[in-house]
Structure 1
């Protein structure tokens, strides 16, 4: 994490560590971080891959639970089969959005689709969790898929913007959200320039690939860095050679959020209840799935980081 000058539009920069989940599949976790827990409602941000699977490799994230949050999955390459305890089965591909509201509790798995197993292929994407406002933390779980054709896009000279969730520059995504949200996929052409409006209190830009400059800040930012901007600051991003950026933000919550494993809540006792519910099998099953991921503290030698 790096801090910046008083007159800079940048508040801080985070370099997420690389984590190996096994079989050569790596993630970079930008949020939560020791220096910054949330940006608006965003409490978790993972870059998945990029990875090139050999024919004998696949993504297999076994069934696991969530409470108190919504997950948003957005791919740049490859495909993932989502299955959950509501009975949903949905393949997500690049440009589409999977939105899963956990609320009072849901279980899901994420795997390489059966029809592409045994083939060479890539996987690259972003998954983020959004904490739910307190009045929606115990809402009924839901799952929605939004095809790439339904995501609003704006192509101006020098950039291309897809509004994944919330609203940006007057474009409103159809994705169902529960609070003020900014989430976009911004592609800058070589020499391109984009002004990020100060419509949302908290804003950040994750550099998916390329190198960018923020006007008013010396130096540049590069691949896999999360740039957090100061509230109300004039933010103009440019790139000499082109770049891709994942924009996030929104209004911060007044209440603290507790996070343990896949559980998020404004109440510490609710986290403890969820842990016990998972141990005792009180979450609903994912139809057709017989495996599950145990609570980390119940696995000898495993420490939750």
Structure 2
């Protein structure tokens, strides 16, 4: 799991351990296990938010862990052209390569540690697929896609695209150097990540070495979630056990605590965890496939607009797998 690594975490800025007499540790309210499934043209995913209510996830809507899978030659798959409206997609690549293109002219290649942030807003068509050379050669593929809701006032904003290279992530470490913290968006301990978001959020990929602990100061008005990408450990002051494919949902407070188990397996020497938090929007959520709106009427309008070709046109330089008029893809 390369993403972005460093030779010596002790050379990085440190997140100071707060005075335990003042801040409140966030308790773990629930731990859920992500079921496995398939997305797009058949690549394996784990549905990280399954079993958690939309209200408790707000402002997040959906999270897929894509892979980890080691493709044989000819096996790698992606998604067909499909629409989105009303939210932002965040694709973070840990291992492997993904290509993206959209009807607004955005796109590019993401590889180890890169992030593509697409604001669908009023509507867009896009496609995500492995490059031809990866399909031919096979190889490791692992990443995540997060959906961040937009407030009703921003759902009709023009589409926007951000490419965040891995080297742009802000790298921090814990007070003892036992964790590598990649800050992709939001703020932690006075440090700000490069991602620009309509909805205030924090997004972190942390690698915690065996036996080490990470204590993060957390905005008290944000919710807090931790999804384990690989490894074993604990969450919260009660040291709730947590392992690969599980999501911890935290209660109120000022601090998040995560710790890596002393013993990990040979394939996964560290605890790899995605830490998310955001300011709840507090609005009704109507969700159907690739559309996230506020009302059922808006969902019907989104489907009609897609079928009528009003969400964009597939660029002529790209061979479409599907086009306007076909049924929307699920994700």
TM score, norm. by length of structure 1: 0.89
Q: Which one has a larger percent strand, Structure 1 or Structure 2?
A: 1
Instruction: Please name the residue that 1:86 is paired with.
Output: 104
Using a 3 Å threshold, how does the CA distance of structure 1 residues 199 and 98 change in structure 2: closer, same or farther?
same
Q: What corresponds to 1:139 in structure 2?
A: 157
Instruction: Please name the residue that 1:290 is paired with.
Output: 320
Encode CA deviations 1:106-163: one digit per residue, 9 max, x unaligned. Answer: 1100011133330021110110010012211100001110111111111341100011
Q: Secondary structure at the match of 1:13?
A: strand
- Cα distance in 2, alignment partners of residues 253 and 222 from structure 1: 29
The aligned residue for residue 142 of structure 2 is 124
> Does residue 173 of structure 2 align to residue 190 of structure 1?
no
2:28 and 2:45 map into 1 onto residues whose CA distance is 25
Deviation at 1:234, TM superposition (A): 4.2
- Shift in Å, 1:8: 7.9
Determine which of 154, 170, 183 is the counterpart of 2:172: 154
Are 1:230 and 2:260 an aligned pair?
no
1:64 pairs with one of 64, 82, 91: 82
Aligned pair in 2 of structure 1 residues 22, 275: CA closer, same or farther (>3 Å)?
Answer: closer
- 2:9 counterpart residue number: none
> In structure 1, the residue corresponding to 2:186 is in which secondary structure?
strand
Structure 1 residue 179: Cα displacement:
1.9
- 8 Å CA contact 1:182–1:248 kept in 2: the answer is yes
Deviations 1:18-69 (A, max 9, x none): 11348873111122x3432252421111000111111112223110000010
Q: Aligned with 1:135: secondary structure?
A: helix
CA pair 109-205 structure 1, distance change in 2 beyond 3 A: same
* SS in structure 1 of the partner of residue 282 of structure 2: coil
Aligned residues: 292
Cα–Cα, structure 1 residues 123 and 248, in superposed 2: closer, same or farther, change >3 Å? same
SS of alignment partner, residue 274 of structure 1: helix
Secondary structure at the counterpart of residue 104 of structure 1: coil
The separation in 1 between residues aligned to 2:258 and 2:301, in whole angstroms, is: 44
TM-score between both structures, scaled by the size of structure 2 = 0.82
Q: Match for residue 70 of structure 2?
A: 52
Whether 1:35 aligns to 2:27 is no
My pick for the range that moved more, 63-72 or 37-46, is: 37-46
Distance 1:70 1:109, change over 3 A: same
Q: Quick one: distance in 1 between partners of 2:41 and 2:246?
A: 24
Computed over aligned residues only, the root mean square deviation of the Cα atoms, in angstroms, reads: 2.2
Whole-angstrom distance in 2 between the partners of 1:49 and 1:148: 19
